[in-house]
Amino acid sequence: MITETSAVAFRQNLGDMLNQVHYRSDSIVINKDGKPIAALVDARLFSRIRRLQNRFDELSQRLAQSFEGIPVDEGMAEIDAAVMAERQAKH
> pLDDT tens digits for 34-76?
999 999 999 999 999 999 999 999 999 998 898 889 999 998 9
Question: CA 42, CA 32: separation in Å to the nearest integer?
Answer: 21
Query: Order of strands, edge to edge, in the sheet holding 35-40?
Result: 2-6, 27-32, 35-40
**pLDDT at position 52:** 98
**pLDDT at position 75:** 87
**pLDDT at position 66:** 87
Mean pLDDT to the nearest integer, 75-91? 91
The full DSSP string for 47-76 is HHHHHHHHHHHHHHHHHHHHTTTS-HHHHH
Question: CA 54, CA 29: separation in Å to the nearest integer?
Answer: 23
Smallest CA-to-CA distance from 40 within 31, 53, 56 is with: 31
Global pTM value: 0.68
